[in-house]
Amino acid sequence: MKEHQDAYGHEVYDYHYKRRDAYEIVERDDGFFDVSGGPKAYLSEYEEWPSHEKEAMNYVTGKVLDIGCGAGRHSLYLQERGHDVLGVDISPLAVEVCKLRGLKNAKVIPITRISSKLGTFDTLLMLGNNFGLFGSFKRARWLLRRFHGMTTEGARIVAESNDPRKTTLREHLEYHDLNRRRGRMPGQLRIRVRYKKYVTPWFDYLLVSKGEMEEILGGTGWGVKRYLDSEGSVYIVIIEKERL
């Protein structure tokens, strides 16, 4: 990712180190715009996390790979608890923020470049709706099989998603219909992120229902152990390794 594309990284850096208010705008390919929760959430401490996110920490074991680590809130918490943690993110400046905040191991790596070269892990962490980083049904299944080969027996994936069907907003329902006509999953978003003059490239971001989650996992060597629900459409899934 080039410097002028690193909208997320500049946002968290400005908020945390320059003490500036920062807001990210998410643009969807049908023209819809929204403002995210922003860096306050990305830099929040454990005490501020929602209850389902706190509960998810109880399922993390051993050596951890935090995929899409962002500003490092989950990685830093787990590092403090004694875990060997590697945080990876596509944003160079976000990785720099992680290191400045005390994360010992962080690298700039997109999800598609994650491989066994990074080591063998007991837990793969994909919180902050980061199941979405899989992007599509096909790519999710491809990466899940790869992850199977770089994890220990009994490994877990602790991932968060958002059920796109739990909405009554016309603009979202119309987008779901548009996606179906295009042969895409209803919650397969095509988005980019803006902050000031920084704009990311367009990328796919996948939101799935629990039924779609289980369909994606089928035959990949991973299966659902438990769901941790929030008060809304967001949920965390504890995924356990199976034999292929």
CB atoms near residue 194 (< 10 Å): 16
- Residue appearing with tokens 């229902």: 209
Cα–Cα distance for residue pair 224/70, rounded to 1 Å: 25
DSSP SS3 for 183: coil
For residue 34, give both structure tokens. 């929204």
Cα–Cα distance for residue pair 111/211, rounded to 1 Å: 23
149: left (phi over 0), alpha (psi -120 to 50) or beta: alpha
- The separation between the first and the last C-alpha atoms of the chain, rounded to the nearest angstrom, is 34
From first to last of its 244 residues, the chain has per-residue pLDDT tens of 899 999 999 999 998 887 777 889 999 999 999 998 778 889 999 999 999 999 999 999 999 999 999 999 999 999 999 999 999 999 999 999 999 999 999 999 999 999 999 999 999 999 999 999 999 999 999 999 999 999 999 999 999 999 999 999 999 999 999 999 999 999 999 999 999 999 999 999 999 999 999 999 999 999 999 999 999 999 999 999 998 7
What are the structural domains, with CATH classification, of the chain? 3-241 (3.40.50.150)
Nearest to 151 by CA among 80, 222, 99, 75: 222
